[in-house]
Amino acid sequence: MLKRKPGILLLEDGRAFRGRIFGAPQKGFGEVVFNTALSGYQEIITDPSYAGQIVTMTATQIGNYGINIEDDEAEKPWLSGFVCRELSGIVSNFRSRRTLDDFLRASGVPAIDGIDTRALTLHLRKHGAMRGVIAAEQNAETLLEEVKASPTMEGQDLVKVVSNHEPYDLNTGYDSPFAEDSILGTQGSHAAGTAALRCAAIDYGAKKNILRCLVQVGFQVRVFSATATAEEILAWGPDAVFLSNGPGDPAALDYAIKEIKTLVARKLPVFGICLGHQLLTWAFGGKTYKLKFGHHAANHPVMELATGKVEITSQNHGFATDPDSLPDDVEVTHINQNDGTVSGIRHKNLPVFSVQYHPEASPGPHDSLHLFRRFHALAIEHAPAGA
């Protein structure tokens, strides 16, 4: 491996961690968080929900299986920076096409390794997620001024950064003929002689795998930008609406909340994941709050209250639903067993539900995939006669 330049990760409270720069050479500012997943760094790096954040991996060595062409969750990484204990000098995997270093450099994402990620994680757990910067070695005092001048996560609308496109149709589920087919169903499955139900997926920063799951259970999917109006979406004639994951503070997305209220009022089946869940919370009249250091992991146990079953879930969010703010016609359905936060809600009178985790990420591995089948079944139940 080539000798790399020294660098620094500087936090807004003045704590500095020194290591070696890799990836893109420019500075990267963002909210510093940690993710405890042992693998899946490519999916994490390309998850649009990480826009505006610097992600620290707690696993000791990262990059050892390289980067492939199948596992990207978006067309490009949106995160502000990447941190690990050791960047692997060896890449070994039959699907690998390039190194993590090459990928981040080509994508414009600065990164740093050689730092004590255990000490960094403990610091963030104690003091909370905070702004920071990755930079080549330079004057810490000057850098600190720049960090403190950078935006905080609260109040930021990052959705418009990651979701800006014309509507498009998605027709591809899983290519694999194995486990996903038997669990989610056969791609395009629906009653003989009938058309597939239409699902309008609102893209607030959607992961590709979520959209594939919707296709796989039998939906005809059209993906709309986050700024699409309810009128534009309804003009397509959807049988159901999906609200995707995404980055930033849900309270800042007043335009999205307004359109969701209109869609929910039409009594369409609605399913929300992560940011979509938080936006439903606001649309129902509830509120969200900022978590101290967020949930970024692949092993959070979540209990479904109606059944008592516990699912092992993948999570990536910095905000949570305030259960005391929910109206009487909305109930909590899932609870995070680590800290008791809300992990799911549903409306008692409308076909609307949401979860604060990623069922498509399959850490269980298939504990939560049933939610996509549940959504499809709900759409069938509420489909117009003859559909």
Catalytic amino acids?
274, 358, 360
Residue 176 CA to residue 342 CA, distance in Å, equals 33
Judge whether 100 and 66 are in contact, CB under 8 Å.
Answer: yes
Alpha helices per DSSP H over 150-229: 159-162, 179-184, 208-216
Q: Is the peptide bond before 365 cis (omega within 30 degrees of 0)?
A: yes
- C-alpha to C-alpha distances, 247 to 52, 84, 208, nearest whole angstrom: 8, 22, 15
Q: Say which residues have a Cβ less than 8 Å from residue 139's Cβ, sequence separation at least 6.
A: none
Across 119-269, where does the E strand assignment appear? 130-136, 168-170, 198-203, 220-225, 240-243
Residue 287 CB contacts under 8 Å (≥ 6 apart), including other chains = 251, 281, 321, 322, 325
C-alpha 227 chain-centroid distance:
18
Tell me the C-alpha distance between 345 and 342, whole Å: 8
The CB density around residue 95, as the number of other CB atoms within 10 Å, is 11
List residues bridging with 300 in a β-sheet: 313
Cα torsion 257, 251, 279, 287: sign: negative
Instruction: List Cβ<8 Å contacts ≥24 apart for 252-260.
Output: 252/155, 252/156, 252/157, 253/157, 253/159, 253/204, 253/226, 253/279, 253/282, 255/227, 256/159, 256/202, 256/204, 256/226, 257/282, 257/283, 259/228, 259/229, 259/230, 259/233, 260/230
Residue partners of 12: CB distance under 8 A and separation at least 6: 130, 131, 132, 144, 147, 148
